[in-house]
A and B are shown apart, each in its own frame.
Chain A
Amino acid sequence: MNLIMQGNAYKFGDDINTDYIIAGKYTKTLDFGALAEHVFEDIAPDFSKIVAPGDFVVAGRNFGCGSSREQAPIAIKHAGIGAILAKSYSRIFFRNAINQGIPAFLCDTDVIDHGDRLIIDLGKNSVELPEKGRSIPLFPLSPVMLDILAEGGLVEYLKKNGTYILPPNSKDKGA
């Protein structure tokens, strides 16, 4: 994961469920490129045509609610999205995104508008909006999620560690 990520925001609202990210009728496949073609199709049909590699999905509360389908973060990943920013995540989606190695960050997304250019600076733990002259702090991820993300996802993490190793003093640290 790069310490600095740049891209444009594709903005969504609250309660974006995983059916909206990838409809059930497309989920029965192991062709992950095919999933990306239909990502957000029911609520943002232009999504896969507009976004450029490295762009960001930006959402409000409870992003990824509903079905546990990991096809949702897989579709986002294979669409080339660099990171997800949301005010809160549904827990299953949050884990799935991290397990896929997709940076899913928590921050106050109210000041971000559709199309805004964003710079995520992990050194400073912030999102910079250069055109607006704003800086938004990122809420820290839990130590175990950071460890999984650092390996590029859960499969690589488990290949390396063989099991789960909880960092000491994890309690109440991060989401």
Chain B
Amino acid sequence: MGSTAAEKIVSAHARQDVKAGDFAVVDADLAMIHDTTGPIAIKAFEEYGRERVRDPSKMIIVLDHATPSPNERISNLHSLLRRFASSQGIPIFDTGEGVCHQLVVEQGFVLPGDLAVGADSHTCTYGALNAFSFGIGSTDMSGVMLTGKLWMRVPATMKVTFRGSMPEGTYAKDLMLHLIGRIGADGADYLALSFRGDVIGRMSVSERMTFSNMAIECGAKAGLMEADEKTLAYVSGAARRASRPVWDDDDADFASEIVVDVTSIPPQISCPHAVDSVFPVSDVAGTEIAQVYIGTCTNGRLDDLRTAARILSGRKISANCRLLVCPASRKVLSEALAEGIVAQLVEAGATLLPPGCGPCPGTHLGVPGDGENVLSTANRNFKGRMGNNKSSVYLASPATCAASALEGKIADPREYLSRSR
């Protein structure tokens, strides 16, 4: 009997052979905290009475959820995080650097075969780089800060194979929304997903991150992918250590398998107020949208902005709609500026936000008004998610968001893609 990639990575970090269902104490290669979850982790850590964290070189702190700070209360939490980073010698990424998950990947803090934890549920994003990574709470994080370790139960693995050819107008986001709609918000509860198939193989690392990012939205602990040439090329630039890629053995014990034929999947949309409430975009086309948001750890990368610009370039957004664009990192912003994408978006009527989480977690930079509908490239649409429980949030791909901004209504992107050069 072989092993799954999840079993292999956990075994390597527990220094003993473990299988799904086993409990293990693992060493973490990376521990990330940000400005929502970090202060509570630091407060808990200080209760241990230990002066230094176990290994500051394996930690990073990112200020992204509410940057630039909207009020004095948050400013003081940011100051607390800066002081802690400075006194402990922990790398910190401050205002304007970007979303934590984008920075972790872009800056080479995580590599194939790693076990990484972050005090943020979307830490599963690094599965796209063949890392076993998952979100934990602040107190669990304080334990990692103290011991360098975490206890965990080894998850079983669900195979998810994407095959077929991608229809025009359908993107990584559409496929992941489709999967979540199909299996539900707890359809992969405490499983590791093993994303595979030709469709994944043909995608860029950025597109793959969209899948792994949303693994938590169907309850999965991790969303792993094989490290192929693209992965290794991607990480080689910024890598700080050697990669240790691993993959599922063919004869591993899998919990279940799902095969998705993408050929007939049209653009998808997640409707209020649950991520697994997924329909073809055409089912709700024409619904008025007051604000469109393109950004986040799900879809704020260069290829996402490129897709949006392809639809928006030379056109103007609807007078009834606001378009907010937030690059996932300073690097993404720089590259988008160099390619002329930012100019195209701004000329079409977009408002550019500083790299970070933007309005996604409902703190600032675009809180919707009562009764307003928002269409977003983010990963969550719970009631009140964007800061107002009397507004509604829909989730879709950057292409669907761009097309909808032009109409001020939910719109199928395919019409605009066929008309653009």
Contacts and interface: CB of A to CB of B under 8 A. Distances in A.
A74 interface: yes
Contacts of B137: 68-70, 73, 92-93, 95-96, 99
Contacts of B175: none
Contacts of A41: 389
13 contacts: A15-B185, A17-B380, A23-B387, A23-B389, A24-B36, A28-B74, A68-B120, A70-B37, A70-B137, A71-B36, A88-B186, A155-B48, A164-B151
Contacts of A19: 362, 380, 382-385
B207 interface: no
A108 to B, nearest CB: 16
A170 B189 CA distance: 20
Interface stretch (A46-54, A58-66, A121-129, A131-139): A58-66
A6 interface: no
Interface string B26-46: 000000000111011001100
B240 interface: no
Interface string A20-53: 1001110111100000000001110000000000
Contacts of B362: 19, 23-25
Given A20-B382, A23-B362, A28-B73, A65 B219 contact: yes
Interface string A106-145: 0000000000000000000000000000000000001010
A96 B362 CA distance: 22
A17 B185 CA distance: 10
A42 B390 CA distance: 9
A123 B24 CA distance: 28
Contacts of B385: 19, 24
Nearest to B45: A155
Contact of B149 (A67, A96, A163, A172): A163
B37 A90 contact: no
A158 B44 CA distance: 11
Contact of B383 (A25, A43, A67, A154): A43
Contacts of A154: 44, 139-140, 142-143
Contact of A69 (B25, B37, B134, B384): B37
Contacts of B229: none
Contacts of B77: 28-30
A155 B189 contact: no
A69 B36 contact: yes
A60 B72 CA distance: 38
B138 interface: yes
B251 interface: no
A-B interface, 3 closest residue pairs, ranked by CB to CB distance from nearest: A96-B137, A62-B186, A70-B137
Given A19-B380, A28-B363, A70-B37, 5 more contacts: A30-B39, A30-B43, A154-B140, A164-B149, A164-B151
A159 B382 contact: no
A29 B186 contact: no
A67 B387 contact: no
* Size class of the contact patch on chain B: 35 or more
A3 interface: no
A95 B140 contact: yes
A153 interface: yes
Interface in B32-72: 35-37, 39-40, 43-44, 47-49, 65-66
Contacts of B37: 68-70
Interface of B: 21-25, 35-37, 39-40, 43-44, 47-49, 65-66, 73-74, 77, 119-121, 123, 134-140, 142-143, 146-147, 149-151, 153, 185-186, 189-190, 216, 219, 221, 274, 361-363, 367, 380, 382-385, 387, 389
B147 A27 contact: no
B135 A68 contact: yes
Contacts of A92: 121, 134-137
A91 B77 CA distance: 27
Contacts of A23: 362, 384, 387, 389
Contacts of B216: 66
Given A68-B137, A96-B140, A164-B25, A15 B36 contact: no
Contacts of A69: 36-37, 137
Contact of A42 (B35, B36, B48, B383): B383
B25 A20 contact: no
A62 B189 contact: yes
B380 A66 contact: yes
Given A90-B186, A154-B139, A70 B40 contact: yes
A100 B140 CA distance: 10
A96 B147 contact: no
A20 B362 CA distance: 12
B139 A66 contact: no
A80 B342 CA distance: 50
Question: Which of B36, B39, B47, B142 counts the most A-chain CB atoms under 10 A from its CB?
Answer: B36
A66 B186 contact: no
A34 B323 CA distance: 33
B221 A91 contact: yes
B274 to A, nearest CB: 7
Given A96-B140, A155-B44, A170 B23 contact: yes
A63 B384 CA distance: 17
Most buried by B among A62, A68, A142, A158: A68
Contacts of B65: 24, 28
Interface in A68-97: 68-71, 73-74, 88, 90-93, 95-96
